A and B are shown apart, each in its own frame.
Chain A
């Protein structure tokens, strides 16, 4: 199962990167969201899947799944939520002010 999950994480990265390379802001934001999904799955897969009970101490159980990746992912989910929302508002403001959401038109190397 781990290999299938690794492939799935890779697929999420692939689609995320492909979206990231597009010109439209909305697609770029979707791309970053996909990449963070991929990263979470990636971290989880690096540990071992489905070995033992959920990491909540219970009498009589001494085999738990690895809690450390879960803690890392939990932090990451919240952070990527912050990133996604900021990006969304930024995209909204940028396209409002500039009248376009095309990244190729939003380049600014004329003011060097």
Chain B
């Protein structure tokens, strides 16, 4: 099972090499094989006797991060969607993407996404789940921005990234809370301790964080705005990520935690209200779009809202319907996206105002489109799977009988009406999509290309999906017992079985379906009469304006803030750093009482030491006031030699020797170089700068003095030096302890020191040699 998840990642490594031969053989053929293999591997789990499977593989055991895979009905449904639709999309992309495109990049991102998505639905460990979750956001970003020379692609990619990663971080927060409360990172174990989480004081916060993650990923109102812009991605990507799989990750997450969260009344209120709002708003906005993919994007938003609402209801029937609709939506929406891609590919335009009457030119595509879009609309034919789940949705909305009060009760009575309202618009945009593209008057002259039927390879994938629509419609039991039931039971938390019928008699749900049909037809036919409403709602008020403003302001203010201190002056940076060090360290010292002064343990003061110290102080100050460069260098030498003498007095013969040699060489070097440098200028900066520099440097010096005194006065631990004294001869075989430490105990350190010197020497050599080259030029 681990191999199945890792397979896409492994193959992705080889894609760049395979794509070298893309002119001989389209890279897509290799890629198509991956999801097919995964599909076959997991298809064997399908069957009436399915039992959840658990596998554990160690990853980072010390952090409690393991690949704990848990395959239940819900995961299986998603895996088959990911691999099944993945196979079809990969195959479709072979004909959609020309060989001149950057196929290597495309398929690497594609496989990255597929593997991550499989990881999300299989992981039982929340941190592994989160890692894969962010990986899908990342690959979605890369795929939307695939045509990165387009302004729109970059905008859409950034937007989706910002919104979904924002949600991802919220999700992480929620997951950390939950695993902190329960003391486990496993979802199954969390669920078994749900009382702990539900009764915790932070439960409202946890619920909010988790739902933010789910809503942003699944494009729920008001976070849906990224999805229409994500349509800049190549159409196979839109079909795969932005309708069938990735946007359902949020749905999956809610379904996964449903048995636990649905106990809370707030879960019902928030999730179902947001879901219904998304359903109505998305379907209303879809009718306004002119781009084929724009219509489909808003339609996806509304369908996701519908599924989310059903999960929010939390009743047995609603969850069954939700799970069933996840599958149905993937079939008809996947094929509709591919059809939109075909239309775009064969006519060169996706603008529904230019399209029309294509039925005669693309008869097969049109046939597929009519079935898929009628299924989406929920037209009551027995061979359309969309009708079944839509009717179950109405049924769930009407029969919902939760014993709730207050807002929840009001919502409960409102939901059936809103469900019908949203579905009417769903019907309208479905008709609008089909009739607007394939019926009506054809104006071929306005199209960039002369339309003709798509190649067979491009038609295969949508045809298979449409066939799925029909088969599920005609024989729902074929998938119900071995497959859907397990998924519904997993989401519900206990057994959730139901028989799927076409004819229920004259139930309220059927009447609602007929209402949708009648009003939908009327509204569709009268679009031109009421379309001006869109100027009033949403009019100029749009969430996109808000988003753009937010991004633009963030950018502007952060630029202002950064420019205010990053002005390119190194002196200023050093000043800022030093001030920070001084303030923070002094602050800590003052707060914790870190400064200690102990007069008890001092060595005696002798005159010659004091004299050397005084000379050094004078010399150090002299470097500042010296007006002549030779003077400054020589005075610096005085400081160095003074230090060497101190080393002698403090019984450090090796230091004294080294210091003497180094100081001599340094002074010689200075004297060599200074000739080429301009002479020192008098300090001509303003007195303010002078004062500031003085304050900073005195502050820093004072700080170091206090640290040194404290360090000397306050010994926290015994010195470890006795170890070196005792073992210098025994282990190192030398009498000079300092030398033994350097070349033996800390030999590796010295080796690196030599390496640093070597690098410095090479750099110096290169810098001097550069001169010759420049002259030649």
Contact = CB atoms under 8 A, between A and B. Distances in A.
Contact of B566 (A2, A55, A109): A109
A3 B707 CA distance: 11
29 contacts: A6-B705, A8-B616, A9-B704, A9-B708, A10-B701, A11-B616, A13-B705, A15-B623, A16-B697, A17-B700, A22-B693, A24-B681, A30-B633, A33-B640, A41-B643, A50-B651, A64-B725, A65-B650, A67-B724, A74-B738, A77-B662, A79-B756, A82-B757, A83-B760, A84-B666, A84-B669, A89-B764, A92-B767, A95-B676
Given A12-B620, A74-B654, A66 B676 contact: no
Interface string B607-644: 00110010011001101100001001100100110010
B658 interface: yes
Contacts of B646: 5, 41
A54 B653 contact: yes
B652 A54 contact: yes
Given A75-B750, A83-B760, A5 B578 contact: no
B314 to A, nearest CB: 54
B746 interface: yes
Contacts of B676: 92, 95-96
Given A13-B704, A33-B666, 9 more contacts: A6-B708, A10-B705, A17-B700, A21-B697, A23-B571, A70-B654, A77-B659, A81-B665, A107-B569
B708 A10 contact: yes
B674 A26 contact: yes
B635 to A, nearest CB: 9
A21 B650 contact: no
A46 B711 contact: yes
A103 B650 contact: no
Indicate the size class of the contact surface on chain A: 35 or more
B737 interface: yes
Contacts of A57: 728-729, 735-737
A54 B657 CA distance: 13
Nearest to B758: A82
Interface string B648-692: 011111110011001001100110011011101101010000000
A13 B761 CA distance: 27
Nearest to B723: A68
B705 A7 contact: yes
Given A56-B736, A74-B738, A46 B708 contact: yes
Interface in B33-74: none
B602 interface: yes
Interface string A5-49: 111111111111111111111110110011001101110111111
A3 to B, nearest CB: 6
A37 B736 CA distance: 24
A46 to B, nearest CB: 4
A56 B657 CA distance: 15
Contact of B575 (A21, A46, A103): A21
Nearest to B657: A74
Contact of B741 (A4, A5, A46, A68): A68
Contacts of A82: 756-757, 760-761
B763 interface: yes
A70 B568 contact: no
B721 interface: yes
Nearest to B602: A2
Contact of A17 (B659, B696, B760): B696
A6 B613 CA distance: 11
Contact of B738 (A16, A30, A40, A71): A71
Interface of B: 566-571, 574-575, 578, 601-606, 609-610, 613, 616-617, 620-621, 623-624, 629, 632-633, 636, 639-640, 643, 646-647, 649-655, 658-659, 662, 665-666, 669-670, 673-674, 676-678, 680-681, 683, 685, 693-694, 696-698, 700-705, 707-709, 711-712, 719-721, 724-725, 728-729, 735-738, 741-742, 746, 749-750, 753, 756-757, 760-761, 763-764, 767-768, 770-771, 774
B494 to A, nearest CB: 61
A61 to B, nearest CB: 11
Contacts of B698: 14
A3 B666 contact: no
Given A6-B705, A103-B569, A44 B650 contact: yes
Contacts of B761: 82
A67 B669 contact: no
Interface string A70-105: 110111011101111110111111011100110110
B680 A71 contact: no
A25 B677 contact: yes
Contacts, number: 269
Contact of B678 (A58, A70, A79, A95): A95
Contacts of B575: 21
Given A18-B697, A24-B681, A78-B658, A64 B737 contact: yes
Nearest to B597: A3
Nearest to A95: B677
A41 B2 CA distance: 59
Contacts of B696: 17, 21
Contacts of B673: 88-89, 91-92
A55 B643 contact: no
Contacts of B652: 44, 54-55, 65, 70, 73
Contacts of A88: 669-670, 673
B697 A14 contact: yes
Contact of A68 (B568, B602, B719): B719
A42 B704 contact: yes
Contacts of B566: 109
Given A10-B704, A19-B623, A104-B569, A33 B636 contact: yes
Contacts of B658: 74, 77-78
Contacts of A7: 705
A8 B613 contact: yes
A108 interface: yes
A48 B606 CA distance: 16
Contact of A101 (B610, B677, B763): B677
Contacts of A15: 620-621, 623-624, 697, 701
A24 B624 CA distance: 12
B623 to A, nearest CB: 5
Nearest to B711: A46
A86 B759 CA distance: 10
Contact of A55 (B604, B609, B736): B736
Contacts of B768: 89, 93
Contacts of B703: 10
Contacts of B617: 8, 11
A39 to B, nearest CB: 9
A92 to B, nearest CB: 5
A30 B632 contact: yes
B745 to A, nearest CB: 8
Nearest to A45: B708
Contacts of A20: 574
A37 B711 CA distance: 18
Contacts of A74: 654-655, 658, 738, 742
Contact of A48 (B603, B643, B738): B603
A12 B616 CA distance: 8
With a 10 A CB-CB cut-off, give which of B678, B705, B720, B753 has the most chain A CB atoms: B705
Nearest to A56: B736
A57 B768 CA distance: 45
A35 B360 CA distance: 85
B568 A108 contact: yes
Given A25-B677, A49-B603, A18 B653 contact: no
